[in-house]
Amino acid sequence: MRKLFRMSHVLVLALALTSALSAENAAAPYDSLPVDPALCGPEDRGEEGKPGVLSTAGLAPYKSYPEVLQLLHQYGRKHPGLMTVYSIADPHPKTEGGNEIGAVRISKAPISEMFKRPVVYFNALQHAREMMSMEVALDIIQYLTDSYGDDAQVTDWIDKTDIWVVPVANPDGLDMIWRGFLNWRKNASAYGAFAHGNVMASYSNVPAASDVSAGVDLNRNYPYDWDNQEQSTKKPESEDYRGPQPASERETQNLMYFLSKYKPVAAISFHTNGELVLYPRGVKDQAQLPNETTYRYMARKMGELIPKDCTEGTYRYGEFWSELYSVVGTETGWMSSNLHTLAFVIELNAPYLGWQPRYEKWRDPTVRKARAAWKQLVGSVWTNSFYGTISNSKRQPIANAKLVLSDAGLQSASTASPIYEANSAGYYHFIAVPNRRYTLKVFADGYQPIVQDVVLDSRSQKNDFEMRSLVEEVP
């Protein structure tokens, strides 16, 4: 990973919920909700599944990718030493379309300290046409950096946390939008009908109604149940084509490398539309996550904070398969199962508004509503979590030690289903449901397990563990 454009100082269980979903959360399917004419009029209408605007002229002031990068540099010049822009360039310096994947790190600590602090990760625009998601990611950057030093809570978060934001996870797809393909969803890899050359080089502006069967849906390309024969789309012409193999895309490979290195504690991927807070499982018959209770608790906390656009009530929440549709190969599924990250998707905006809601009316209300949710997640890293270090008797960190949380006194927690894994510096940090008693089990190859009863109230609890070797250590 390297800094972008050579810039120097510029711009990251177990509570048993016995009650059923509330009546609001068990509402009608997301695409058939009524519309209050006092909130959303005919001028707001964007036909479901199609762009909310008719041409690239109507997209402004939504941003192109060069404009996004320019804006990040402006933020950086305003806040030197607080944020840095990086290019996620491993293993591929650029995408097929020649773009770098820009990522912003917001932190007061040197990057060498990253492995001793929790990492929170946000991204947006995995699907090119979902342009409002990008606006929320940009607002996170602006809000945090502008508030530092004035807002005590934000200042405390940034002093203790690494916050990473990738505003555009699919820059090639965004370029295709601005070439006139307003319904473009995938990246611009040359598959399917256009597998004989680079898609980006093959098309200039075309009528908005045009579409091409090329590219890969990046949020179906992760190696998380990718080969599920019933749920995975194998046809290149499909808009949710999974790719020729797991992690076939440069964008996917780069983000997997980055995320595997830094192992975020929590994450949100912003999408549109649906007014939903979602988390794995993607398919009903997948194994239930060991920290599903924490997922449900946090999804409810975030969902209840976001008012809907065109009707009363707040965002629904739940697993992908139950609240939206069955889906495999997702980034959040891969992060949860492989990195033990508490990873969510937030589907912004009412379906009534289309893929690109009218910017002048909906941009500011959308980012303001979303703030409450992502602030809830960042705050939970320091209000209801366990963290600390794991080392041996010589105070050397034990990399990749595993931790399992269960109800207090329950000794049956499976070592095959860790909730979290310490990083290379022996540091661990994970969110849990507060005001509960737990049993925390720590284990690592070659060391005696540690089992300890702990209580989590409304403050995060620090527990440093010293593990004893299974064999006698040489003095």
pLDDT tens digits, residue range 108-127? 998 888 899 999 999 999 99
Comparing CA positions, the residue from 404, 388, 391, 382 lying closest to residue 463 is 388
Check if the beta carbon of residue 137 is closer than 8 Å to that of residue 270.
yes
Q: Is residue 281 classed as helix, strand or coil in its secondary structure?
A: coil
Residues 281 and 402 in one domain: no
Which letter, b or e, does each residue of 107-127 get, where b requires 16 or more Cβ atoms within 10 Å of its Cβ? beeeeeebbebbbbbbbbbbb
The pLDDT assigned to 218 comes to: 96
Q: For the residues of 167-222, what is the DSSP string, one character each? A: S-S-HHHHHHHHTT-TT--S-----GGGTTS-HHHH-----TT---S-S--GGG-S
85 and 217, same domain (yes or no): yes
The per-residue pLDDT for 203 is 57
Residue 466: partners with Cβ closer than 8 Å, 6 or more residues away:
391, 392, 393, 395
- 307 and 413 part of one domain: no
The answer to whether residue 160 sits within a structural domain is: yes
Q: State whether 370 and 419 are in the same domain.
A: no
334/431 same-domain check? no
pLDDT digits (tens, 9 = 90+) for 170-215: 999 999 999 888 889 999 987 654 444 556 656 554 434 345 568 9
Write the CATH number for 418. Answer: 2.60.40.1120
**Model pTM score:** 0.89
Residues 456, 350 share a domain: no
405 and 338: one domain?
no
462 located within any domain: yes
Number of folded domains in the chain? 2
Structure letter (DSSP) for residue 447: B
Query: Domain range holding 310?
Result: 2-383
Domain end (from 338, 360, 383) = 383
- Amino acid 1: pLDDT: 56
Residues 393 and 307 in one domain: no
Q: Are residues 397 and 371 in the same domain?
A: no
Of 351, 383, 415, the last residue of a domain is 383
Alpha carbons 145 and 384: distance in angstroms, whole number:
24
DSSP 20: P
**The predicted structure's pLDDT at residue 56:** 75
Domain contains 475: no
Cite the DSSP H helix spans in 270-357: 292-303, 320-323, 331-334
In a domain, 473, yes or no: no
237 and 315 inside one domain: yes
- 314 in any annotated domain: yes
Q: What is the pLDDT of residue 259?
A: 97
d(CA 240, CA 217): 5
pLDDT per residue of the chain (475 residues) written in tens, 0 to 9? 545 533 333 233 222 333 333 333 333 444 455 788 889 988 888 755 455 666 777 788 999 999 999 999 999 999 999 999 999 999 999 999 999 999 999 999 988 888 999 999 999 999 999 999 999 999 999 999 999 999 999 999 999 999 999 999 999 999 999 988 888 999 998 765 444 455 665 655 443 434 556 899 999 999 998 888 566 688 888 888 999 999 999 999 999 999 999 999 999 999 999 999 999 987 888 777 878 899 999 999 999 999 999 999 999 999 887 877 778 889 999 999 899 999 999 999 999 998 889 999 999 999 999 999 999 999 999 999 999 999 999 999 999 899 998 876 444 444 445 688 899 999 999 999 999 999 999 999 999 999 999 999 888 999 999 999 998 655 5
Position 125 in a domain: yes
Q: Counting Cβ atoms within 10 Å, is residue 75 exposed (0-12), middle (13-18) or buried (19+)?
A: buried
Task: Check whether residue 440 and residue 317 sit in a common domain.
Answer: no
**For the packed helices 152-160 and 131-147, what is the interaxial angle rounded to 10 degrees?**
100
Using CA atoms, how far residue 188 sits from 35, 192, 199, in Å, is: 35, 11, 6
Whether residue 235 lies inside any domain: the answer is: yes
Cα–Cα distance for residue pair 186/126, rounded to 1 Å: 8
What is the rounded CA–CA span in Å between residue 221 and residue 55? 29
Q: Are 133 and 68 members of one domain?
A: yes
